[in-house]
Amino acid sequence: MNKILSTLLFTTPILFTACNSTTNEVKPKAVESDIQFVQEATVGVSTPSTKATSSSVTYANDKKDIKDRGMLHIKGFMGTLQPTLMGMMKSDPTHKTALGACSTLGQSMADDYNRVSNVKIRRTALRYRNPKNRPDATDTTVMERFLATKEFNEPLVVDMGDSYRVYKALEVKQPCLACHGENISQDLQKMLIRKYPTDMATNFKLGDFRGAVVAEIKK
């Protein structure tokens, strides 16, 4: 099992999204533990039409071992994406191949990862494209905090009672704009309408908050 998990973490090409790769090193900093945070700010256009509502959550950001463990899995899940997806984008300037691969293989690769790991990885966003990535109430509150503070480098740990969730914010990078920006080609727009008729993940700008990768760790 450890050998399979190790292989998935460091060698399996996992298709996620170009903007979901980051080279920033996560540097731990002092964060008040087990605080109650209720997001009161209005999110505006970044809030999707969803039944998920904001709620207070219990943060456990002093749990360095949990944070490190979650980030190990998140980095392993995300880290092999960029060369694969960048190769697709370079070989196909229309980006249709990359968009198709991301939408069809990304979820199946996440499912494969989760079948052999006791830490479950998923992605979510306030303005999501795939309905499978729709946030729950806790996701919404944590992402609203990221959106309000603009502190994208430091992951957040949430105590869910029977598990911990480690959230890593995702920032819009230049390659993301091809499929998530303000000037998406007509061909890609047609693909998006066909595949995701309720898509909300467009009109982003460079540096915007895109969403989060979540690692859920059982206690």
| Tens-place pLDDT, residues 114-173 | 888 889 999 899 999 989 899 999 999 999 999 999 999 999 999 999 999 999 999 999
User: What residues does each domain of the chain span?
Assistant: 2-18+51-218
Phi, psi of 202 (to 5 degrees): -130, 175
Segment 91-123, tens digit of pLDDT = 778 877 777 766 666 677 778 778 888 899 998
Is residue 73 exposed (0-12), middle (13-18) or buried (19+ Cβ within 10 Å)?
buried
Residue 146: per-residue pLDDT: 98
Query: Looking at residue 104, what is its pLDDT?
Result: 63
- Number of Cβ within a 10 Å radius of residue 132: 12
Determine contact, residues 134/51, Cβ cutoff 8 Å: no
**φ, ψ for residue 205, nearest 5 deg:** -115, 160
Rounded CA gap, 146 and 209, in Å? 8
pLDDT above 70: percentage of residues in the chain = 68
- pTM score, whole prediction: 0.74
Residue 7 confidence (pLDDT): 45
> Do the beta carbons of residue 163 and residue 219 sit within 8 Å?
yes
